[in-house]
Amino acid sequence: MRVSLMTTTVRPAVRWSVEHALPRQVLRMSEKRGDIQARLVAESRHVATPDLAGLFDEIRGRGRLVRTDLAYLTATHEVCREVLSSPDVKAGFPAPDNPAIARILDWTKTETLHPVQPPSLLAVDGPDHTRYRKLVTKVFTVKAVEALRGRVEEIAAGLLDEIAASGADQVELVEAYCSRLPVAMITEILGVPPQDQDLVRGFGSAAAPSLDMGLSWKMFRSVDNGLTEFDTWLDQHLENLRRNPGDNLMSKLAATRDEEGGLNLVELKATAGLVLAAGFETTVNLLSNAIALLHDHPEQRELLKAEPERWSNAVDEVLRFDPPVLLTGRKVDKATTIAGVDLRPGVVVTTVLAGANRDPEVFTDPNTFDVTRENAKDHMAFSAGRHYCLGASLARLEGEVALRALYERFPDLQVLPGAQRRKTRVLRGFQVLPATV
């Protein structure tokens, strides 16, 4: 009983105190002092990404790489790219300088997978990163993904048939469409049975705030439970595939456990779990952000109706203007100089991807949403360097097919009042998007 109370309550409470409650206090104090990074964290909680443009300009106005109370911060396109591609800067968060805090965190560590903790692809570099990435990359190349176009079209058509057949006056598009299509695709690629799709969608929603800093105790517990349930489900699912493999990516990954140099169980779960979760949590946001933007810019929607071959570029413009991932962080591994600033090992650099997307050095009239923009593809919504999004081609294909099919089927689609953005800060999209079709 004592042991279980320790595991279920005391350790999580200590972990939450160090990882969230303490940073939350620091953030509050820094915000009061006007620290720009603390303001970004605070404002991103309740403001739509397009409305953060003023803050992005302010960050750039202060410099190309700005020192804040918490880290270094950049919203400059060129500097974001340099940080994310530098061999001296690594993924993941640094261990605390204070040895006592480091010991406490070590004591609270759990076996449960976490998207930004090793051995997640997102949190490792060097030979391990290359080894994990090599195993999954083939399935997501431009050529391999293009072969899936017909299947994405079928899934989109099936979902739109269901919406039409429901005969309802109103439809909630996140539930009925935006979240279903990417989950259906990634589960099919990975070999997750259709009956588990809703379960997987639920794990994704529960785990999405795990990328945010300063979570409340209630949210932290909900994320922790979501991650634990996902972990347990993955264990069982991978074991099933090992015994009864199919022609899919997860079966192939599971088989490498028995091969020389293959993945061990923890690496396997981390890699398969990340590809699965990253494979839909962000694309859901791409679709909902696009629908909301096209509602606010009817002239752009008309243009796409007249010239549907522009859909592919329109998806990139949505990714530039309202990207599903606000920012990402790195830690300096070896002393280096970036944008004229000397950085010592251990410091954190935050690259504001959504801010880089509004950099006037790269994008003319950056705060104008323009689906005909010639260099829309130069956005940083998929990051850069070694951790550049593995699923970028799949996300672009899903966006193009899903949006075009939606507006072709329902040309009179109108978003209704009552849309709600998600409460997550790093992941940006809609929770609820009611519409008439």
**Site residues (CB under 6 A) for ligand HEM?**
121-122, 133, 140, 186, 274-275, 278-279, 282-283, 286, 323-325, 328, 381-383, 387, 389-391, 394-395
Nearest residue (beta carbon) to ligand HEM: 391
Cβ closest to ligand HEM, residue 45 vs residue 138:
138
Cβ closest to ligand HEM, residue 173 vs residue 381:
381
Burial class (CB in 10 A: 0-12, 13-18, 19+), 354: buried
Q: Find the shortest distance in angstroms from Cβ 181 to ligand HEM.
A: 11
Q: Find the shortest distance in angstroms from Cβ 374 to ligand HEM.
A: 21
Q: Find the shortest distance in angstroms from Cβ 92 to ligand HEM.
A: 9
Q: Using CA atoms, how far apart are residues 200 and 60, in angstroms rounded to an integer?
A: 39
With beta carbons less than 8 A apart as the criterion, state whether 206 and 225 touch.
yes
DSSP letter for 96, please: P
Cβ closest to ligand HEM, residue 89 vs residue 274:
274
Q: Find the shortest distance in angstroms from Cβ 387 to ligand HEM.
A: 4
Helix or strand run (H / E) with residue 328:
strand 328-332
Cβ closest to ligand HEM, residue 85 vs residue 170:
85
Cβ closest to ligand HEM, residue 215 vs residue 395:
395
Cβ closest to ligand HEM, residue 189 vs residue 437:
189
Residue 125 to residues 90, 113, 120, 278, 402: CA-CA distances in angstroms? 7, 17, 10, 18, 34
Q: Using CA atoms, how far apart are residues 326 and 66, in angstroms rounded to an integer?
A: 17
With beta carbons less than 8 A apart as the criterion, state whether 428 and 316 touch.
no
Task: Give the number of other CB atoms < 10 A from CB of residue 26.
Answer: 16
Q: Find the shortest distance in angstroms from Cβ 1 to ligand HEM.
A: 40
Q: Find the shortest distance in angstroms from Cβ 122 to ligand HEM.
A: 4
Cβ closest to ligand HEM, residue 132 vs residue 363:
132
Q: Find the shortest distance in angstroms from Cβ 353 to ligand HEM.
A: 6
Cβ closest to ligand HEM, residue 325 vs residue 435:
325
With beta carbons less than 8 A apart as the criterion, state whether 211 and 429 touch.
no
User: What backbone torsions phi and psi does residue 147 show, to the nearest 5 degrees?
Assistant: -65, -15
Which residues are 328's β-sheet partners?
A: 351
Q: Find the shortest distance in angstroms from Cβ 119 to ligand HEM.
A: 11
SS3 66: strand
Q: Using CA atoms, how far apart are residues 269 and 187, in angstroms rounded to an integer?
A: 15
With beta carbons less than 8 A apart as the criterion, state whether 436 and 163 touch.
no
Q: Using CA atoms, how far apart are residues 257 and 426, in angstroms rounded to an integer?
A: 33
Q: Find the shortest distance in angstroms from Cβ 436 to ligand HEM.
A: 26
Cβ closest to ligand HEM, residue 178 vs residue 437:
178
Q: Using CA atoms, how far apart are residues 11 and 17, in angstroms rounded to an integer?
A: 10
Which residues are 348's β-sheet partners?
A: 331
Terminal-to-terminal C-alpha distance of the chain? 55
Q: Which residue's entry shows tokens 């396997």?
A: 268
Cβ closest to ligand HEM, residue 16 vs residue 132:
132
With beta carbons less than 8 A apart as the criterion, state whether 139 and 189 touch.
yes
Q: Find the shortest distance in angstroms from Cβ 271 to ligand HEM.
A: 8
